[in-house]
Every structure is written in C-alpha cells, then in structure tokens.
Structure 1
Amino acid sequence: MKILKTFGKRYPVSAFLILCFGFTWSIWFTVPFFAGSDWSLGRIYVGAGFGPALAAIFMNQLCGHGADIGNKKWWLCFSTFFALLFGLYFSILLTGDGITAEKFSQARPAGISVTGILGVIVSAVIGSFVIASLAVSRSKALSSVSKWHVSIKWWLIALLLPSVWMMLGVLMASMTGEKIQVEAVEHNLELQTWGLYTARSILLTFLVVAIGEEAGWRAWMLPRLQQRFSPLLSSVFIGIAWGLWHFPLFVIGQYSDPPEMVFAKAGACIMLGIVFTWLYNRTGGNLLMVVLLHTAMNSSPRFVPFSEQMGVFLILSLICMIVFDKMWRKSRVQL
C-alpha cells in the first residue's frame, strides 16, 4: 500500500488512468462470458464497469481526502439509489433494451435468470456506491455532483445546448432537402413503449453513464492536467483517453461499429471534451453541470430529429469557446 500511495502521489494522472482502464476493461471484456450475445443482458453488466468515477474515488481515498464511506448519510444515499438502479436494471430483464429506438422495438426480454439477477445486483451496487461516495466526498470537485445552486443560464446551456445544435442542423438540412428522422415516429413505437424506453435511457445515462464518466474525466483528471497544461491541451489529452476507454464496447458488440472506429470515437471525444472543459471551468468546477450536459448529449436524439448538419454548429461553438475564453492559455486551477 505504501508503494501504491507513493506512486499515486508522484504520478497521480498515470495512476488514475491505470486504475480507470484496468477496472473498466477487466469488466467489459468479460461481459460476453456472462451475457453471451444478449445485448440487453450485456448492457446490464456494462453498467458495472464505469472506472473513471471509481478511480477518482479511490485516488481521493488514497490521498486522504476522500469520502467518509459508511456513515449514515452515505448509507441513506446508497440504499436510495440502489433501489432505483435495481428497478431500472431489472426492467431490462423484463422488456429487453436497445441502443436505439429501432433496436428496442426489436428487442426480446433477457428474462429472469441467475446470471441476470447477478448482473442487476452487481451493477446496482457499483452505481449506488459511486453516487453515495461522491455525495459525501470531502473533495469539493466530486461532491459538487449535488451542487445545484447554479445560475439558471448554466442549467439552460447544459440541458439545451445539444438540442440547439440539432435543431439548427435540422433547419440547415431542410434547406438542402435532406430527409429528417425522428426515432419514435420512424419506427412506429407506441407512445407508452417509447416513453418507457426514453425514461429508462435518460435515468441510466444520468445516474450511471454521465456520473460514472464525468466524475473521473472532468472533476478529477481535468483540474490536475490544467495545473500543467492549458484548458485546450488538457481537453485533447482527456479526449484521447476518453475515446480509447470505450474500445471494449466495440469489441463485445455493445456498439454496432467495428473496433477500428474507436479512433473516430476519440476524435469526437476531443471535440466534445473542449465543450465539457469550457462548461466545467465556466461554472467554477461544477460536476453536476457537466453530468447534465453529458446526459443531454446522449438523450437529445430521443426528442429532436438528428441531422449530420449539426456538426457545423458544434464546430462553430468550439471555435467561439476557444477564442473568447483563450483556451490555449494556461489558467490557475485550485484542487
């Protein structure tokens, strides 16, 4: 343990990445062993592998300013979110799931089984452990996941910016005659079915995906990189790691694209990472805001028609953020 502490203090970012990738990849690469080719069951097990948040929690514990795990507040938070996550994951066993509305409409229930129940329990335990540990953390950066007293403009930006890009993209696409598609309409989903799929998708994205990633990439890694590098360069470093971290999902079939597309994923993460860095810095290091932005980016296609033209407005936004905030300049960051 002494060697681990020494390494963690001397090379904190390297230690964080080793823990982050080690935990996630060891879980995700074994998903087919438990779930086989069942995508829905695989998704449940994938929920147990969000290493960024776990690595951030561990590193803070290692440095002596982590969470007071096991106190009354921690157990209250843990039990509340365990019940919620257990219900969400269990519902996947009953209805099946899909990465898109089309896939969901074709999905078959995973069914009740020992493997399924085990996956539900493990993923619910890990997810609720992360949320509870962040909520009671002595780190202001991590505990800001529950800091909702933020100016209304940042709430609007976090929740609506992806939709604005998409609506502007639709406007441009309509002017060029491009076909516009809406998930629920295109695949003739009943309102009740679409509502279940959408509500569960948003909740799992917020509670598991967004919190599980952003607590590590933005609340832990970004401030430490910005002590040495500019916000722009820090975003590039995180974007590369963030993108490559997803590699197992391509291999095990949770993503439909071939594994080599992980490099395109890294490129997209670099661009999006700049937006997350801008918002995180602008809100004084508020984890909740970047978690909401992450959730909005993943969930907006459920409500707003998607068009590739939105990329134009994403790039314009990046340029404005970089130029007006002078993101190439190193800024003082307090941990």
Structure 2
Amino acid sequence: MHFHEPDWISVEPRNHIVFEMLVCFINSASADPTSVQHFADSTINALTSISTPDPSVEQYRNESRVMFGILFTIITQLDAAAPSQDHLVKLVLSLRCVPLPATVVQGFEVNDPGALDSDMNQDLSKLKNVLSSFEADAPLHPRNEDRPNIPRADWEYSPWRQAPGRHLTADAWASINAFVAQLHTATPDLIHLDLRGLYAMIEALEQPLSPSRLEDVLPTAAYWVIYAGKALKSNDVPYADYDYDGGTKKLPWSKGELWTGQHAFNQARWEFWMQKFKDISERNDVSEAVRVAALRAFQAGSA
C-alpha cells in the first residue's frame, strides 16, 4: 500500500523513518493479519529505539506529538472501513504499555509533579492533542475557524495542519473518526474520546444541512455508530449543558438546533439520531455513498 509523504515528514530524517516504520507496519499487518500483535509490538520497539536517548520532558512531548501527527496523516489516506484501521488501533494499544523514560519521569517529579500529561503514553494525551489540531481543519459547517470562543491552543504551529483556507476532505475526516471510534471501543477508560462521537452526531444530525454539506459530515457520524455505537449508547456521563461565553453552540456538550430534548447521551436522543439516519438513507438528493453509510448506521444503531 502506497502513502503520500508530505514535505514536513520527508525533509526531516527522523520523521521520514517514523513514516516508513508505520507504513511498513500497515503493509506487514495487511499481508499477515494473524500476526498483527507481533508487528505492533515490534514496531513500537523500533520507534522507541530511534527516540532521543534520555530525553527531557519537552523533547519526549514533542517527539510523541510528531509521531501522532505522522500517524494521523497516514490515517487520512486510508479508507474508513479498511482493516488497517483496526491494526493501527492495536499499534496504539501497544504504545500505551510503554513506560516513560526515567529522565521524563524524573523531570515531571522535579519540575511539574501535577502535570496533566505525566502519564502521556497510558492516557494518550499527545494523541488527543494532535487529534484536536486535525479537528481544526475538519470540513464542518460553519468551519471551526469561524466559530467564536473555541479553544485553539492545540491548533497552532503544527506542520500537519492544512494550508490556510483549506480543509480535510470528507473521506479523510471520516477516516480519522473511524479510527478514533474503534479506539474508543477498545479503550473505554480513556476520557473524552466519546465526546468526539457526540460532536459528530450534533454536526450531522442536529443541524439543518444542505445535501452538499451532508456529504461532508454524515459519513463521520455513521462510522461512530458502526464502530462505537454500543459504547456511545451506554454512555451515561451527564455532561454539563452550557456554552462558553453564551456564544458557541457547536461544542460537544451542547445541542444542535434540531434537538430540543435533554443534553448528552440519552435514549430519546439516540432514537432521534437513528430516525435521522433512516430518513437520510431514503433521500434521493444525496450520494449513494451517503445513503449507504446512513443505512449501515441505522441498522447498527437499531440492533
């Protein structure tokens, strides 16, 4: 399987090596799916071996961010339904078992004992940071950059960001979310991944969207139900029903204008979403791909 290697990866020797290792893992796992765990463990060991020896906390943070930036760059080029998505989830699960270098542990203990990312491999905090920067370029309506009061700390200075005025394709956005949905199912202990699923439902099913805009966001919501529907449906975390500064209605813990019931996940809202999927699957003003995705989501979420 061939993947495009952007300049920000190819011009940096270490970035190029990480890219090649991840591509090799994908191709090896695809050729021999029965050995995915072996390939995952071997790849994590190889990635660890090229890390900076005895890194500082900041060096380790930066190298982790770049690795996940490369990972998500590759994921944007995968089909959302490709088996490689699941293989990459297993790779990330192997990474969670890697202990932090002693110098990093010591750095946290001495300089920042209360740091939120002091267990960054186990809690995948850098993966979530990088995911936020990809979300900044999502093909949402309105675009994220046009929404007031959304925190942007994780968006800045990331080489994997799209050029100003450009956004991820609908396929790339769906592929990222298919991966995150499968990761959420595999790691129910990780906080905030479920919010991405709620966000996807709000964007696709609770807004009055034109057919062309549905093309951008419906597949993403569908893959959340297909790959993580059971986990989302059973979610009972009572996220607060509020908006920042009274201005933003497009955050994960909010509601779209078409939904007037209780916030967060609940049975009535789930049934509303499933009906919307069913309705979209029967429309003739959207593409066949959208109709099929909507029908698959309806069937998966109604089972």
- TM norm structure 1: 0.29
More helix by share: 1
Say which structure, 1 or 2, has more relative contact order (CA 8 Å, 6+ apart): 1
